[in-house]
Amino acid sequence: MPPRAIFVSITNTIMATSIHAPVNWEHTKTQKANKNIWNKWIAFTSNQKPHKTFWFLFSLIFQGVFFLPLPAALAFYYGAPEYIVAITLILFFANVIAGMGGLGIRTMLNLFALSILVHLALMAIFML
């Protein structure tokens, strides 16, 4: 009896080959991804999670080299008011706290981008 039971179980098994594979022909709607700048930015920031330390150090070095001296240059050469020093320091230390405080990569990169945009706006306002 046992050999027959094995034979029956082998013959009733259907192999999942490309000929006998079950096919799912349901009609499903596919959504087109919105390819706007914001969705591309979110996708980029989500993919940068393994490089969080790099982006933290890069933002500190970039801001330390380009943005921390900017208020002095704008104030001395272009007559800008002194409150731009406070704006620059607030943005710099916000980036330091975001990186050292363990915030997510999206928050760090959004804060860094905000800092770049604010400083470019300051340069455009006071240099023109």
Q: What is the DSSP string of 21-52?
A: --------PPPPPP-SHHHHHHHHHHHTGGGH
Residues 30-73 have pLDDT tens digits of 666 678 999 999 999 999 999 999 999 999 999 999 999 999 99
pLDDT band with cut points at 50, 70 and 90 for residue 9 = low
Query: Which tokens is 81 given?
Result: 């008011």
